Amino acid sequence: MALFQISEPGETTSIDAQGKQLAAGIDLGTTNSLVATVRATSIHEGDGDNRRAETLADETGESLLPSVVRYCENGKIEVGKIAKNVQLDDINNTISSAKRLLGRAVGDIKTLGGSLPYNFSDADSNVPKIQTIAGNVTAIEVSAEILKTLKNRAEDSLGGPLKGVVITVPAYFDEAQRQATKDAARLADLNVFRLLNEPTAAAVAYGLDQKNELDERIIAVYDLGGGTFDISILKLNKGVFEVMATGGDSALGGDDFDHAIATWILQESDSDLTHHAMSEARRVKEALTNKDNVNVSLESWQSTLSRAQFDKLVASLVKKTLLACRRALRDAGLSKEQVHDVVMVGGSTRMPVIREQVAVFFDKPPLVDIDPDKVVAIGAALQADVLAGNKPDEEMLLLDVIPLSLGLETYGGLVEKVISRNTTIPIARAQEFTTFKDNQTAMTIHILQGERETVEENRSLAKFALKGIPPMVAGAARIKVTFQVDADGLLNVEAEEETTGIKSNIAVKPSYGLTDTEIEGMIRDSMDNAKADMEARRLREQLVEADRTLEALDSAMKTDADKMLNEDEVTLLLEARSKLHDIKENSQDSVEVKLATKHMEKVAEFYVARRMNDNVKTAMQGQSVSDFADTDN
C-alpha cells in the first residue's frame, strides 16, 4: 500500500479521500441520461466497506438529465431540463432522442424521418447532419454535449477529474452504433474503460454475476422506458454474459400509457383539450402507482379512474410487451420456466399492472428493489469501479460476446463468416483467400455484419482495396485477411498478400488523436450500406408516399369534386389516379413509384391550388393544432 501518491505538478488528482480512483458509470439514454459512481456514503464506526454505488444529482437534486440539447443563436448550448422546457418553442434547434440517430446513415434516417422534426442538411455526407441556428450538428456531437454535462457533474461532485468511465449501450447496438458512442465520448474528452450492454449493467447492479450457486443463469431484462421497450435474454455462465436474444418495440413506451388515459379523459369529458388531457393523464398514471382510485379533472369536468379501469385501458399495450418477451425467448431457444431472474428497468416498470403481468408471465416476481430509472447507471458504476482498480480482490470480470457475425464478401455476392456471433471477445482470426482471375492485381475487401448468406441481407461495415498484388495465375495469390475485435466489440481488419507481404488495413475503429473530419470520414466508410437494403427501404418509403397521395386525392374529391371540377378534369384526375395505383401495386422499383407519385401530384396541382385559394385559413389552422397536440409529450 502506497503511503502517499505522487502526482504531476499542476495536475489535479483522480483520487478520492479514501485513496480510490475516480470513475463513473454513464447511462446515455434516449429520453434521460444519468451518471453514477461508487463512493463512501456515510462514515461508519469500525471498518468494513461502506462504499456504495449511487447516482449523482444536479444542483436541484435531480439525477435524471433529459437527453435534450438546444443550440442557441449566440452559440450557447443548453443541455437537459432547460432545453427540454423550451423544446416546443424552438423545435428545430432543440435535439432530443439523438441516440436513435447514433451510428445511422442518411439512408437509415429517412425511415425514422417521419417522426423527427429536424431539418437534415443536404450536404454531401453519409453521416446525417441536423441543421440548427448554430450550424450543422451530428448525433455524435449532440451526445457528446450530454456526456460533457454528466462529466462536469461527476467531477464537481467528486472533486477531481475522472480517470475513466463505463458507458452503457443497448445490447442490439451494432458496430457502427457502438463506434459512434465511443466517438461521442472522445469528443467529450472522456476515457472509456469499456462499453457495457444495458441489460448486463442492470444484472450487475443486482449482483447477479456474484451469485455462484448456479453454473448457468438465465436472466430476462424487461426495459420499458418513456418511448422504447426492450427485452433482452442473457445467459450468465461464470462471469460471461452472453446476449442470447433481444427484442422489443422502438415505438412503445410510457408515453403510450399516457395516451391511453388521455384518450379516455377526452372521451368521457367530451373535450378536445388534448394538451391538458395529456398532462393530466401523466399525473393520474403516476398517482395510480400508489393508490387504487385517483380523481381526474379537466376544466369543469371531474371523475375518478380506478386502477382496475386503468389496467383495462392499457391491457393491449401490456400484452404487446409480453408478446415481444415470448418472441425473444423463442429466439433464444428457451422456455419461460428456464428463466431464473427477471430484472425491471425503466421508469414505466413502476406501474403495478406491468409488475403484476410480468410476474404472471414469467411465473416469478421480478426484481424491483433498485430504482428502475437508475439501475443501469448503477451497474455501470460498479463495473467502472472494478476497472479503475478499486477492488483488487474483486473477481468480477465481464466477458462479452459479439452480437452479430462478422464476415467477408466472397465470389457471387455470398458472405463467408470469419467470426461467428456469440464468440467471446477479444478475438483475432485470420482467413485465407485467393484471386479468381489471372493477373488480378487488386482485391476489394468488403466487411459485413449479420447472419444471412448474401451480401444484400447483411449490414455493410466497410470496404477497402488491397492493391499491388503481383500478376499471377488465378488462385496462386495467398491473401490473408485478419479480423481483430477488441473488448468493446470494435473491429480492425488487415489484409496481406503473403507471397509478397503487401499489406492494407482498415481500422473500422479509429485510433485516438484523429481529427473530427477523419473520424467522420471513417464513419462514412463504415456506413457504406448494403445497396439492396437501401433500395428495399426506399421502395417502402415511396409506397407509403404514394398511398398518402392517393388518400389525399380521394378524400379531397369526395369532399368537393362536384363543386370544383368539371367532367374532363375529373376524368383526368381519375386516369392519373389509376395509373399511380397500378404502379404502386406492381412495381418493385422505388424510382418508378416516386416518378408516378410526382406525376400524380403534378396533374392534381391545379386542383390543389383551387382548393387552397378557396379554403386556405381553415385548412392550415386545423392542421397545425392537431399536429402539435400529438407530438406534445
Partner 1 sequence: MLDFKQNYFSLFGLPETFDIDFTTLGSAFRELQAKYHPDRFVDANDKDRLVAIQTTGFINEANETLRSSRLRARYLLKLAGVDFDDEVDTTSDGVFLMHQMEIREALEEVGNAQDPLARIDDLAQEISGEADALKDDFVDQLAAKNLDAAKEAVLKMKFFERLCQQSKQITEQLEDDLF
Residue closer to partner 1 (CB basis): 272 or 395: 395
Least Å from the CB of residue 420 to partner 1: 9
Least Å from the CB of residue 386 to partner 1: 8
CB atoms within 10 A of CB 406: 27
User: Which of positions 570-629 make contact with partner 1 (CB under 8 A)?
Assistant: none
Q: Which amino acid is at 468?
A: G
Q: Which amino acid is at 462?
A: A
**CA 228 – CA 351 distance, rounded (Å):** 15
**CA 535 – CA 592 distance, rounded (Å):** 12
Q: Does the protein bind partner 1 through residue 238 (CB under 8 A)?
A: yes
Residue 498 falls in the annotated catalytic set: no
Residue closer to partner 1 (CB basis): 44 or 238: 238
Q: Does the protein bind partner 1 through residue 160 (CB under 8 A)?
A: no
Which range, of 121-129, 222-230, 392-400, 581-589, touches partner 1 by CB under 8 A? 392-400
Residue closer to partner 1 (CB basis): 353 or 398: 398
* Choice from 425, 466, 491, 508 touching partner 1 (CB under 8 A): 425
* Choice from 484, 504, 587, 590 touching partner 1 (CB under 8 A): 484
**CA 574 – CA 553 distance, rounded (Å):** 10
For residue 506, the cross-strand partners are 493
CB atoms within 10 A of CB 297: 14
Q: Does the protein bind partner 1 through residue 428 (CB under 8 A)?
A: yes
Least Å from the CB of residue 208 to partner 1: 17
Residue closer to partner 1 (CB basis): 388 or 477: 388
Question: For residue 426, is the peptide bond before it cis, meaning its omega torsion is within 30 degrees of 0?
Answer: yes
User: Which of positions 315-334 make contact with partner 1 (CB under 8 A)?
Assistant: 330
* Choice from 72, 287, 399, 476 touching partner 1 (CB under 8 A): 399
Least Å from the CB of residue 257 to partner 1: 27
**CA 570 – CA 567 distance, rounded (Å):** 5
Which range, of 84-92, 234-242, 519-527, 593-601, touches partner 1 by CB under 8 A? 234-242
DSSP string covering 157-174: HHTS--SEEEEEE-TT--
**CA 64 – CA 201 distance, rounded (Å):** 17
Which range, of 169-177, 428-436, 494-502, 530-538, touches partner 1 by CB under 8 A? 428-436
Q: Does the protein bind partner 1 through residue 478 (CB under 8 A)?
A: no
- Cell numbers placing 101: 440517430
Q: Which amino acid is at 23?
A: A
Least Å from the CB of residue 631 to partner 1: 36
Q: Does the protein bind partner 1 through residue 189 (CB under 8 A)?
A: no
* Choice from 88, 487, 608, 619 touching partner 1 (CB under 8 A): 487
Burial 524-560 (b: 16+ CB within 10 A, else e): eebbbbbeebbbebbbebbbebbeebbeebeebbeee
Q: Which of 78, 183, 209, 223 is an active site residue?
A: 223
Local structure of residue 510 (DSSP, 8 states):
P
Residue closer to partner 1 (CB basis): 474 or 591: 474
- Cell numbers placing 313: 385501458
Residue closer to partner 1 (CB basis): 330 or 602: 330
Which range, of 34-42, 269-277, 359-367, 423-431, touches partner 1 by CB under 8 A? 423-431
Q: Which of 16, 78, 183, 198 is an active site residue?
A: 198
Block residue for cell numbers 476515457: 191
> Using CA of residue 33, residue 39, residue 44, residue 46, what is the dihedral sign?
positive
Strand 240-249 and strand 229-237: the pairing is antiparallel
**CA 325 – CA 442 distance, rounded (Å):** 48
Residue of 433, 425, 380, 434 whose CA lies nearest to 405: 425
CB atoms within 10 A of CB 85: 14
For residue 196, the cross-strand partners are 168
HSE-up (13 A, CA, CB side) for residue 603 = 22
User: Which of positions 26-45 make contact with partner 1 (CB under 8 A)?
Assistant: none
Local structure of residue 338 (DSSP, 8 states):
G
**CA 161 – CA 455 distance, rounded (Å):** 45
**CA 86 – CA 71 distance, rounded (Å):** 11
Q: Does the protein bind partner 1 through residue 194 (CB under 8 A)?
A: yes
Residue 223 falls in the annotated catalytic set: yes
* Choice from 71, 172, 193, 310 touching partner 1 (CB under 8 A): 193
Which range, of 79-87, 147-155, 244-252, 483-491, touches partner 1 by CB under 8 A? 483-491
What stretches of 307-413 adopt beta strand conformation (E)? Answer: 341-345, 406-410
Which range, of 117-125, 363-371, 394-402, 556-564, touches partner 1 by CB under 8 A? 394-402
Residue closer to partner 1 (CB basis): 253 or 403: 403
Block residue for cell numbers 433498485: 370
Residue closer to partner 1 (CB basis): 397 or 591: 397
Q: Does the protein bind partner 1 through residue 474 (CB under 8 A)?
A: no
Q: Which of 16, 20, 78, 99 is an active site residue?
A: 99
Residue 632 falls in the annotated catalytic set: no
Cα angle, residue 383 at apex, residues 380 and 387 outer, rounded to 5°:
135
Q: Does the protein bind partner 1 through residue 552 (CB under 8 A)?
A: no
Which range, of 170-178, 276-284, 385-393, 545-553, touches partner 1 by CB under 8 A? 385-393
* Choice from 106, 325, 387, 596 touching partner 1 (CB under 8 A): 387
Phi and psi of 256, rounded to 5°? -65, -30
Least Å from the CB of residue 293 to partner 1: 39
Q: Does the protein bind partner 1 through residue 388 (CB under 8 A)?
A: yes
Tell me how many residues contact partner 1 (CB under 8 A).
27
177 φ/ψ sector (left φ>0, alpha ψ -120 to 50, else beta) = alpha
Q: Does the protein bind partner 1 through residue 117 (CB under 8 A)?
A: no
Residue closer to partner 1 (CB basis): 61 or 513: 513
* Choice from 41, 304, 424, 631 touching partner 1 (CB under 8 A): 424
Local structure of residue 170 (DSSP, 8 states):
-
**CA 633 – CA 529 distance, rounded (Å):** 34
Which range, of 73-81, 299-307, 366-374, 425-433, touches partner 1 by CB under 8 A? 425-433
What radius of gyration do the chain's Cα atoms show? 28
DSSP string covering 521-532: HHHHHHT---HH
* Choice from 77, 426, 454, 480 touching partner 1 (CB under 8 A): 426
Residue 27 falls in the annotated catalytic set: yes
- Active-site positions read 27, 99, 198, 223
Residues within the interface to partner 1 (CB under 8 A) = 163-164, 193-194, 237-239, 330, 386-389, 395, 397-399, 423-429, 432, 484, 486-487
